[in-house]
Amino acid sequence: MPRYNIKRYQVGDFWLSRRQSRSPAWCRTWFDKATSQTKRASLGTTDLSEAKAKLDAWFALNQRPKNAALEDMTIAQTLTSYWEDHGKNIPSASSVKTSSRYWIEYWQDQSVADLVGLRPQEEFHQWLRSKGLCDATINRTVMVGKAALNRAWGNGEITGVPKFISLPVVDAPPRGRPLEVAEVQALLDNVTSNYMHRFILLILGTASRPDAVFQLKKEQCDLSRGLINLNPQGRKQTKKYRPIVKLPSQLRPMIECADNNFFITYRGKPVKSVKGSWRLLRKRAGLSPDVQPYSLRHTMARHLRASSVPAWEVAAQLGHQQTGLSITEKYASADPMYLQKSTIAIETYLAKLVICNTEM
């Protein structure tokens, strides 16, 4: 079984070593039985953690075990193989990557056999909780490891899969409380950057999730038909469905004058997170910590219901999955009445705000 220490980390028949008299870079090392020689291949890094990761990735791609006993397969191996084979190619790749890091950081060189039983899994849950993860996130993290092990078992790499336990999860309130009109206005009044101004207006105008706004490009906007496709071309829909929504009149000038790049950019590069900028903006606006970017989406959802928009139309606007809809609903956006009530409600809300032009 592989062992982590200062001098060596081993996966299968391959281990880490350094030539003290030559380059300080770590090498992938193995014994060649055909020549009775120890051979090395540089991994191009002097960092031990990076060398371990590179050895894991190489082994996952080139040396797959067959029907290995649970004590002969490390947890890190299964997670690395899962990432290389599958995880990095799915829409939730970033989440899989984060969860895999938690697994590898905690279990390090331990084998799949070390997962067997209630005690070790409960201790893992407790460690994840110490990292600030809620029970729902802990369950999602555990499911990534379970998926990796099931895939290894399905591919004939290991002889079985341990039984996993999960945590009971109560429904948690949405992230970020809904805002009053005056609070939204306070955010707009204190914006100092173009991209944050666009970020706020695009979420309010589409009621979309922040991730959809980060990935939004002008090519997704059909100005002639007044539609915004929140799902970029080539992106597979997930449980967090991204619908086609109507373009509110207040957003049209901003979209018409935009270039063909992403809408949310800073110094020409796409913005993937506004956590720091949001904290500063929230402080300037005098708002409490429970005001999050998701507050904008929840604010609009509450406003839609308060405006007597039918529940099914609110669900369609928000991208909530609905049962009982036929394939013809894919063409619903061609209907002139499509999302008409929700669009009117959104435009009515935006009309209450003083939207200053921060374009530079």
The pLDDT, as a whole number, for residue 190 is 95
Position 80, amino acid: T
Percent of the chain topping pLDDT 70:
89
Question: How far is Cα 276 from Cα 293, in angstroms, rounded to an integer?
Answer: 11
Question: How far is Cα 232 from Cα 61, in angstroms, rounded to an integer?
Answer: 31
Max avg pLDDT among 30-34, 43-47, 103-107, 201-205: 201-205
Do residues 97 and 87 lie in contact, with contact meaning Cβ atoms separated by under 8 Å? yes
Give the mean model confidence (pLDDT) for residues 321-328: 51
The pLDDT, as a whole number, for residue 162 is 92
Percent of the chain topping pLDDT 90:
59
For 110-141, how does the pLDDT look when each residue is reduced to its tens digit (9 = 90+)? 999 999 999 999 999 999 999 999 888 999 99
Question: How far is Cα 194 from Cα 201, in angstroms, rounded to an integer?
Answer: 11
Confidence band for 335, pLDDT divided at 50, 70 and 90? low
For 235-279, how does the pLDDT look when each residue is reduced to its tens digit (9 = 90+)? 888 888 999 999 999 999 999 998 888 999 999 899 989 999 999
Tokens of 137: 């996130």
CATH of 65-82+92-172, one of 1.10.357, 1.10.150, 1.10.1200, 3.40.710: 1.10.150
> Domain extents for the chain?
1-63, 65-82+92-172, 181-350
The pLDDT, as a whole number, for residue 334 is 60
Confidence band for 33, pLDDT divided at 50, 70 and 90? confident
The pLDDT, as a whole number, for residue 306 is 95
227 phi/psi in degrees, rounded to 5 = -130, 150
Neighbouring C-beta atoms of residue 270, cutoff 10 Å: 15
The pLDDT, as a whole number, for residue 251 is 95
Highest CATH level, class, for 181-350 = mainly alpha
Question: How far is Cα 37 from Cα 15, in angstroms, rounded to an integer?
Answer: 14
CB burial readout 54-66, b (16+ within 10 A) else e:
bbbebbbeeebbe
Whether 341 shows a pLDDT value over 80: the answer reads: yes
Give the mean model confidence (pLDDT) for residues 207-216: 95
Whether 358 shows a pLDDT value over 70: the answer reads: no
Give the mean model confidence (pLDDT) for residues 165-170: 78
Question: How far is Cα 310 from Cα 137, in angstroms, rounded to an integer?
Answer: 32
The position carrying tokens 């999302």 is 339
Confidence band for 285, pLDDT divided at 50, 70 and 90? very high
Confidence band for 329, pLDDT divided at 50, 70 and 90? low
Position 65, amino acid: P
